[in-house]
Structure 1
Amino acid sequence: MRNQLKTLALLAALSGLLIAISYWVFGGTNGLIIGIVLAAVTNLFSWYQSDKIALAVYRAQPVSETQAPELYRIVQRLSRRANIPMPGIYIVPGETANAFATGRDPEHAAVAVTKGILNVLPEDELEGVIAHELTHIINRDTLTQAVAATVAGAISFLAQMVSYGLWFGGGSRDDNRGGNPLGILLTVLLAPLAATIIQLAISRTREFAADAGSARLTGNPRALARALQRLEATARQLPLNANPAFEPLLIINPISGQFLGKLFSSHPSTEARVAQLLKLEQELPTAVY
């Protein structure tokens, strides 16, 4: 409940930032109305189109049981155990090892894994990864992250358009039409950074919960811990060329462990996640499946 409240507060802050930027840029009541409309449209758009956008961004292709029998069997078994409809199954081309889930609810969800992860992980570790992604679906994190990505993208786009206007149009001095000059400057300089920070905070909040959900669903927290360590090592060698807006969907941060990568990581550190999983291992009863 605490994480859910924190996530709702962060989403509200993100939408509020979009409304405030519109007010600063366009000025007055019109700016406020435009901001509210933008926030409503982006949230509604992400509600209905988030799964299609994410799958298209990563060029994910649907697969059948005959094309990926082992993967299909794992997803089917865990979906039954979690008592949710079986999501669509997709494979992302490439040797990078990663995975993500998307969709607005369990009835409209998909799980996607890279070709590389199927080659890297043994079955028990792959099961831990799939359980992590199914937990995201159960917790509606896939919708939350999609809304955050869409609103953050709208903020960055608006800031970029304002920047182009300042460079090529010179801005407006008409107080009846133009926005607050200080607000416009803050929009160009700080809004994209603030949106990114809020989006990343939302993602980090949800990852620990998904790890814990995977541990409970499989009864094997150590398998996911090993998978995370293996995936991080692989990411250093073959980082995924991911769209920044959709990086939070992935199970492991696709950026190699450089300073800026850690500073703007969409995930908690792998060390912290592994430590939490090993702690859960001591707390969970021995599972019998």
Structure 2
Amino acid sequence: MARTRFPADRGLASRMVATMFLLGLLYVVFVAVIIAIGTSAIIALFLAGGLLVVQYFTSDRIALAAVGGKVVSAEQEPELHAVVDRLCAMADMPKPRVAIADADMPNAFATGRSQDHSVICVTTGMLRRLDEPELEAVLAHELSHVAHRDVAVMTIASFLGLAAALVVRFAFYAGLFGGIGRRNQQGPPVVLVIMLVSSVVYGISFLLTRALSRYRELSADRAAAVITGRPSTLAAALVKVSGEMSKIPTRDLRSAEPLNAFFFTPALANGFSLSSLFSTHPPLQRRLDQLARIEAESGPAT
């Protein structure tokens, strides 16, 4: 990553490298199986690659469009810009674009492939609920994601899962219309083999990227606590935002769940959901316990 005053996280770096290595190895095996089967499903892999390129270069615009976020100038939102300016000066990093999403759900996110192509977005619900020190702590968390290029890494890491999912869908419809559903001289229909292999690959890649996502949230919490010198303030913001999230209508939470990997705190509706089983974020208590340890080690803020 580009040099900033956010503390380097060797644990995060090693996990990123390990995850990429495992996903790369899995991808090689996956492609080898597809080629060995001799199916035209290889087209789905190229399609996934194309989607990855589009997502990598337009992740900021896609995320803003998904939440209805609008980039705002310093004249429009001077107080918000002042907080971001102060944090960027403290972290010695380029200032990202600043955006606001008109949504009651209290949340924030940062996205973009690099520090020079990034945006940090805050919802109006977050601005109404947090005081300035709490907002600063949350934005420091999000700027840490930018500094560590988390979004770019997670975009690339998600490629294999996307490819596997597309291959499953491609194989299903091709088999449905007789394209690759023929049975080999010995063995099961080709389409079933492809769907089985792709499903296993998707499951493994899903678990690997979720584990990396949870760790990067802990890393961003640590970095924010260090750069602001106020771990307890970030903990207070976490508690407040998580408590207020329960007041948001379930329909709004469910519609926001696909963006949980970006958010400061996940939008989880009550009841069963895949997001609650395989969360992109660690449990709230684990985040609070980590911040409490940092507070105890560093002593009271001055």
Please indicate the TM-score interval, normalised by the length of the shorter structure: 0.7 to 0.9
- How far has the Cα of 1:113 moved from its partner? 1.1
Q: Percent identity?
A: 31
Equivalent in the alignment of 1:234? 244
Which of 58, 62, 71 is the matching residue for 1:62?
71
Which of 259, 273, 285 is the matching residue for 2:287?
273
C-alpha contact (below 8 Å) 1:22/1:35 kept by paired residues:
no
Which of 210, 213, 223 is the matching residue for 2:220?
210
CA–CA distance in structure 2, aligned partners of residues 208 and 151 of structure 1: 24
* Alignment size in residue pairs: 286
Normalising to structure 2: TM-score of the pair? 0.82
Gaps of 5+ in 2: 1-9
Per-residue CA shift, 1:234-275, capped at 9, x if unaligned? 22222262262x421111111136454432111000110011
Give SS of 2:246's match. Answer: helix
Give SS of 1:103's match. Answer: strand
- How far has the Cα of 1:136 moved from its partner? 0.7
C-alpha contact (below 8 Å) 1:60/1:90 kept by paired residues:
yes
Q: Could you say if the C-alpha distance between residues 60 and 147 of structure 1 is closer, same or farther in structure 2, counting changes exceeding 3 Å?
A: farther
CA–CA distance in structure 1, aligned partners of residues 23 and 245 of structure 2: 29
- How far has the Cα of 1:17 moved from its partner? 3.8
Q: Could you say if the C-alpha distance between residues 255 and 164 of structure 1 is closer, same or farther in structure 2, counting changes exceeding 3 Å?
A: farther
Normalising to structure 1: TM-score of the pair? 0.85
C-alpha contact (below 8 Å) 1:89/1:110 kept by paired residues:
yes
Which has more helix, going by share of residues?
1
CA–CA distance in structure 2, aligned partners of residues 224 and 240 of structure 1: 25
Q: What's the RMSD between the two structures over aligned residues?
A: 3.0
C-alpha contact (below 8 Å) 2:168/2:195 kept by paired residues:
no
1:282 aligns with 2:285: no
1:200 aligns with 2:187: no
Tell me the amino acid that sits aligned with residue 122 of structure 1: D
Q: Could you say if the C-alpha distance between residues 148 and 154 of structure 1 is closer, same or farther in structure 2, counting changes exceeding 3 Å?
A: same
Tell me the amino acid that sits aligned with residue 7 of structure 1: M
Gaps of 5+ in 1: none
CA–CA distance in structure 1, aligned partners of residues 227 and 278 of structure 2: 30
Which of 87, 91, 99 is the matching residue for 1:82?
91
CA–CA distance in structure 2, aligned partners of residues 136 and 99 of structure 1: 12
The 10-residue stretch of structure 1 (262-271 or 251-260) with the greater mean CA deviation from structure 2: 251-260
C-alpha contact (below 8 Å) 1:240/1:254 kept by paired residues:
yes
Tell me the amino acid that sits aligned with residue 212 of structure 2: I
CA–CA distance in structure 2, aligned partners of residues 127 and 103 of structure 1: 20
Give SS of 2:137's match. Answer: helix
Give SS of 1:248's match. Answer: coil
Equivalent in the alignment of 1:101? 110
Equivalent residue runs for 1:248-267 within 5 Å: 248-256=261-269, 258=271, 260=273, 261-267=275-281
Equivalent residue runs for 1:69-218 within 5 Å: 69-169=78-178, 171-173=180-182, 183-187=193-197, 189-218=199-228
